[in-house]
Amino acid sequence: MKCGVIRLRRAVLAAVAFVVVAALVLALRLTGAYAVYTGGTVRELPIYSVERSDNKIAISFDCAWGTDYTDKLLEVLARENVHATFFMVQFWAEKYPEYVKKIAEAGHEIGTHSATHSYMSKLSEEKIRQELSTSSAVIEAASGVRPDLFRAPFGDYNDRLIRTARDAGYYTIQWDVDSLDWKDLSANDIAMRVISRVRSGSIILCHNNGKHTAEALPVILDTLKNKGFTFVPIGELIYRENFTIDPNGRQHAAG
């Protein structure tokens, strides 16, 4: 009798454990593909990179200050037949609408980089929605295309920001390769940093007004192409549905 009770108890515990695991999996799915279960909590993450085996990568440029080197960047990208992703702050797009249009007409992808370039993890949900909405409206007015990609200023985020952006229809994009071009590194140092860190599915962070970015760009593009990498806009690199994100922020196709 006692053995039968023990077996029954074990069976019940196993069934309960199965239900708990199933509920957790369902909860993770319902919280969105950005949700990562770690240490007993569900944490929201942006997309840092993408798990791919085809050597596709993306290069991106954040636009917040000036246009001194933007024409040169566009010349290099056109010559190399590379389409990039430009994340634009609203006040930059308002000041330089001709560049928003020029970038879009060159076939590049445009995302929003917020309205005011603030630390958005400190903002309320209402304010976050406003930053996304007004910045996207300005970009759309100049380019004819409404963005669905968002990069948080300073790479600063929290659960509220990621969830709010997702609910508003945006994919939040981070990076796994930082050129550090904003530190005014030499062109060679920028190029070597990028080239040595890229892998299939990488997202490269640069800035449109980096002092030596345009100078480094030909070396970056040529070298990575010769290594077998293919550049695509971030919108073509990421999975737009049926995906998960691991604790390192790397996006994977589901199942």
Q: How far apart are CA 203 and CA 103, in angstroms?
A: 19
Q: Is 207 a catalytic residue?
A: yes
Of 108, 117, 207, 212, catalytic:
207
List the catalytic residue out of 62, 83, 176, 181: 62
Give CA–CA dist 233/223, Å, rounded.
18
Q: Does the annotation mark 62 as catalytic?
A: yes
Residue reference for tokens 């799915």: 29
- Nearest Cα residue to 120 out of 160, 173, 168, 166: 160
- CB of 217 within 8 A of CB of 73? yes
CB-based contact 216:5 (threshold 8 Å): no
Per the DSSP assignment, residues forming a β-bridge with 112 are 88, 150
Report, as residue numbers or ranges, the catalytic residues.
62, 207
